[in-house]
Amino acid sequence: MITVLATPGTLVAGAELALEEEEQHHLTVRRAREGEAVMLLDGAGCRGTGQLRWAGKVLSVAVDRVSREPRPPAVTLAVGAGDRERFALLAEQAVQLGATRIVPIETDRTANVATRVREGTLDKVRRRSREALKQCSAAWECAVAECVGLEQFLAEAPQGACWLADHAGSAAPSLGVSDTLTVLVGPEGGFTATERDRILSAAWVPVALGPHILRYETAALAALSTAWQARHRGDG
Amino acid sequence: MITVLATPGTLVAGAELALEEEEQHHLTVRRAREGEAVMLLDGAGCRGTGQLRWAGKVLSVAVDRVSREPRPPAVTLAVGAGDRERFALLAEQAVQLGATRIVPIETDRTANVATRVREGTLDKVRRRSREALKQCSAAWECAVAECVGLEQFLAEAPQGACWLADHAGSAAPSLGVSDTLTVLVGPEGGFTATERDRILSAAWVPVALGPHILRYETAALAALSTAWQARHRGDG
């Protein structure tokens, strides 16, 4: 079944849903037919089903049912603001693994990356992060924050558990089902020794995420997977 | 420090190490200098250090020290034999997360993938899997098996814990530090319902790896990460 994104807050059972231009375009390209059943997600906790309606060249959805899901536990992935294409890919995968917010962190080793994520390029990352909801069928979208320097990020002291992805760390501590978590992952090449000392002195917990040295994308995904398992230990 | 791959079993402290042609090429491209210190890995448990030696256009390494690491616990990643470029990328990441063997599984939904992994293309996957040791500094390489059909794979009944990556499963059971594990991950589009029933009837344990529906690459990495954490619970 095709999944269609709705503007947040617009899903109402029994109503006719107007579609954003981009969604109409996607459906037209996929040759969606009148009456075709679709799944609906608004990225703000609502999930629904409906049927497509063509009126001339304009597509809308007759909404059948809508259900609401509670907001998932807050998981922030703060990761070096390196190459923007790799960052966008990482954001797509992070959505699948339950990240609720992604923060691009400016570090010593991202400063000279010519293709790095910058303010002007974040809208594309946001679009791809939102598009990723379709594939993983998540009801809540993942926010993508503005770029922020490491010092400022540490000064703003996130609440809840704070993990630093670190090869020299220990296995992950357990995590309550609704605990807030922030995971900090260095850029390609890692944090510098000075940055790492600074992070550890701000009481971040170094957590090892695998047996070997990980690429930053792998570390970020392993951290999210680890967090999810840490919340659900004992279910198995 | 540059890492150089040695032919398995050739690392001897105090000896002169001849290098494979591909490694000589890499070092030449990187303009490696006479006397430069390098790290050595043979992929068969030996790790060493040494200095580069040029003799005309031929590079070798004067080996200083060699240490041996025990074989890590066996973790087989059996994953749908889909697009070969994605498969090779997945293999590289799987090495970082401790896979010791990768098996490409032929399934209903890989049969029609034009670019799928096949016997003739596995050498490239093997090369990339071996090259990945350099980046993650692992002492043991990850074997890449021949393609095998799902039925035959199930009939050969792997030993140890058998997990099926499955959105409808439970969180991962715990795992002893040296337990053998095989994780089975469907191809793009997943296993068919018939295949899934067949796998479950062969007593594979369905394990959920995240809050949402995962792409198969993400599921494979999450499974490896989960396995590593399941072995190390309580260390944190």
Instruction: Domains for chain B: give ranges and CATH numbers.
Output: 2-68 (2.40.240.20), 75-231 (3.40.1280.10)
Of residues A136, A171, A207, nearest to B213 (C-beta): A136
Work out the angle at residue A190's Cα, subtended by the Cα atoms of residues A184 and A192, and round it to the nearest 5 degrees: 100
Looking at residue A232, its pLDDT comes to: 84
Q: With contacts defined as CB-CB under 8 Å, which chain A residues touch B232?
A: 171, 208
C-alpha of B156 from chain center:
21
Looking at residue B234, its pLDDT comes to: 52
Query: B63 CA to chain A: closest CA distance, Å?
Result: 23
Higher pLDDT, B86 or A235: B86
Interface predicted TM-score of the whole assembly (ipTM), two decimals: 0.90
A30-61: per-residue pLDDT in tens?
Answer: 999 999 999 999 999 999 999 999 998 899 99
Residue of A nearest to B226 (CA): A226
Q: With contacts defined as CB-CB under 8 Å, which chain A residues touch B164?
A: none
Looking at residue A25, its pLDDT comes to: 94
Confidence of residue A236 (pLDDT cuts 50, 70, 90): very low
Of residues A172, A217, A222, nearest to B236 (C-beta): A172
Exposed / middle / buried, residue A10 (Cβ in 10 Å: 0-12, 13-18, 19+): middle
Averaged confidence pLDDT in chain A: 95
Longest dimension (CA), chain B: 62
Looking at residue A234, its pLDDT comes to: 52
Residue of B nearest to A209 (CA): B225
Which H helix or E strand runs over B47? strand B46-55
Q: With contacts defined as CB-CB under 8 Å, which chain A residues touch B211?
A: 72, 97-98, 138, 228
Asked if A135's CB is within 8 angstroms of B218's CB, the reply is no
Asked if A211's CB is within 8 angstroms of B138's CB, the reply is yes
Q: Is B45 left (phi over 0), alpha (psi -120 to 50) or beta?
A: left
Looking at residue A30, its pLDDT comes to: 92
Residue of B nearest to A223 (CA): B225
Query: B39 CA to chain A: closest CA distance, Å?
Result: 14
Averaged confidence pLDDT in chain B: 95
Asked if A224's CB is within 8 angstroms of B210's CB, the reply is yes
- Mean of pLDDT values over A170-190: 94
Confidence of residue A157 (pLDDT cuts 50, 70, 90): confident
Asked if B224's CB is within 8 angstroms of A210's CB, the reply is yes
Asked if B224's CB is within 8 angstroms of A226's CB, the reply is no
pLDDT at A93 over 90: yes
B99-121: per-residue pLDDT in tens?
Answer: 999 999 999 999 999 999 998 88
Of residues A170, A214, A232, nearest to B235 (C-beta): A170
Asked if B212's CB is within 8 angstroms of A137's CB, the reply is yes
Residue of B nearest to A140 (CA): B212
Of residues A171, A217, A224, nearest to B233 (C-beta): A171
Give every CB contact of residue A68 below 8 A, 6+ residues apart in sequence: A45, A46, A47
pLDDT at A82 over 80: yes
Query: A2 CA to chain B: closest CA distance, Å?
Result: 14
pLDDT at B211 over 80: yes
Confidence of residue A235 (pLDDT cuts 50, 70, 90): very low
SS (H, E, C) B145-207: CCCEEHHHHHHCCCCCEEEEEEEEEECCCCCCCCCCEEEEECCCCCCCHHHHHHHHHCCCEEE
Which H helix or E strand runs over A51? strand A46-55
pLDDT at A219 over 90: yes
